[in-house]
């Protein structure tokens, strides 16, 4: 079966749980139109609590309740908003539709002026769901989920960081530089790309290990099968910083390790039926221009 084939559809499409981009009060003027379009096609709308308070709506649900009651989730904003919604809803295994109000929009599939046409197809099961690999990591005895990437980096801009890397308990490399990115295929077009890493088709299952400004020119990006466990630590006395999807930041001490594995379930992104990933790359990255 080709990796592009995916026939899964939602069992029910009656209730949409909407989460708005944080600190975007201008959505107060946009949200009523979005809500009305869903309701036009018989889809009830629930609004997440912090989103509702931001735009002075009085009816809302806490996020966990929103996930439990909704058939699918809707992220209104940019890719960062969609990543946050996907990570927060991981334990509920909900599909997410991204309405793009951002600038780049690699992940968010639908523009506001396309929403009505999309919903007309959506209720007739003319859409797709992409399943994207996510990363599980253990930091400070806590588990966390990453959609794009995990970055281990220096604490001070004045210093570089040493990073020891193991695969399935066996040491395979030591890095010295500004840091290291462990990326999913979806995250390959994010920080990984700007650091010289490769672009991977987002439905594959693999880790991308990309050094950030390495001291040695022999250090190069590495693509690994997703069934490996990667373990990272630093021998530096000051420790290091761990950044997950650019949203959560942790500190690790000297010789404290973090373990990285493929997550037990995948992110589900609702998309236009004819959305072509290679066309998206061409448009967003100006390939061939």
Residue with the larger pLDDT of the pair 1 and 233: 233
Provide the annotated active-site residues.
79
Between the two ends of the chain, the Cα-to-Cα distance in Å is 33
Q: What is the pLDDT of residue 71?
A: 98
Helix (H) or strand (E) holding 277: helix 277-284
Q: What is the pLDDT of residue 8?
A: 84
pLDDT band at 1 (very low <50, low <70, confident <90, very high): very low
Helix (H) or strand (E) holding 68: helix 63-69
Compute the distance between CA of residue 102 and CA of residue 254 in angstroms, rounded to an integer: 39
pLDDT band at 288 (very low <50, low <70, confident <90, very high): low
Query: Does the pLDDT value for residue 16 go beyond 70?
Result: yes
3-state secondary structure of 154: coil
Paired residues of 142 in beta bridges = 139
List pLDDT tens digits, range 248-277.
Answer: 999 999 999 999 999 999 999 999 887 777
Compute the distance between CA of residue 260 and CA of residue 138 in angstroms, rounded to an integer: 7
Across the chain, what does the average pLDDT equal? 92
Q: What is the pLDDT of residue 140?
A: 79
Mean pLDDT of 79-89: 95
Q: What is the DSSP string of 90-112?
A: GGGT-EEEEEE-SSS-SS--B-G
* pTM score of the predicted model: 0.91
Query: Does the pLDDT value for residue 2 go beyond 60?
Result: no
Mean pLDDT of 86-109: 87
Quick one: which of 119, 83, 87, 88 has its CA closest to 98? Answer: 83
Query: Does the pLDDT value for residue 56 go beyond 50?
Result: yes
Query: Does the pLDDT value for residue 163 go beyond 60?
Result: yes
List pLDDT tens digits, range 118-150.
Answer: 999 999 999 999 999 999 999 877 899 999 999
Domains of the chain, first to last: 15-133+266-284 (3.40.50.10330), 135-262 (2.60.200.30)
What percent of the chain is modeled with pLDDT above 70? 94
- The packing angle between helices 115-122 and 31-40, to 10°, is 30
Paired residues of 173 in beta bridges = 165
């Amino acid at each position: 079966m080709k990796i592009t084939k995916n026939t899964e559809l939602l069992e029910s499409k009656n209730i949409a749980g909407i989460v708005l981009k944080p600190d975007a009060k201008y959505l107060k003027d946009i949200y009523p139109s979005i809500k009305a379009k869903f309701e036009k096609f018989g889809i009830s709308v629930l609004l997440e609590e912090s989103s509702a308070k931001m735009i002075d709506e009085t009816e809302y649900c806490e996020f966990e309740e929103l996930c439990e009651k909704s058939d699918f989730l809707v992220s209104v904003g940019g890719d960062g908003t969609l990543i946050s919604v996907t990570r927060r809803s991981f334990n509920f295994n909900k599909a997410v539709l991204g309405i793009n109000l951002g600038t780049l929009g690699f992940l968010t599939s639908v523009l506001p002026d396309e929403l009505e046409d999309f919903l007309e197809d959506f209720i007739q099961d003319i859409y797709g769901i992409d399943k994207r690999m996510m990363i599980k990591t253990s930091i400070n005895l806590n588990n966390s989920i990453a959609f794009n990437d995990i970055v281990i980096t220096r604490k001070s801009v004045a210093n570089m960081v040493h990073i020891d890397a193991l695969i399935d308990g066996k040491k395979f490399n030591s890095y010295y530089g500004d840091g290291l990115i462990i990326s999913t295929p979806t995250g390959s077009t994010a920080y990984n790309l700007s650091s010289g890493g490769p672009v991977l088709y987002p439905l594959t299952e693999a880790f991308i290990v990309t050094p950030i400004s390495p001291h040695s020119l022999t250090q190069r990006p590495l693509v690994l099968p997703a069934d490996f466990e990667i373990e990272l630590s630093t021998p530096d006395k000051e420790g290091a910083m761990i950044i997950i999807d650019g949203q959560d930041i942790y500190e690790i001490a000297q010789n404290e390790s973090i373990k990285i594995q493929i997550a037990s379930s995948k992110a589900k992104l609702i998309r236009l039926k004819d959305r072509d990933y290679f066309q998206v790359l061409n448009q967003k990255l100006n390939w061939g221009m």
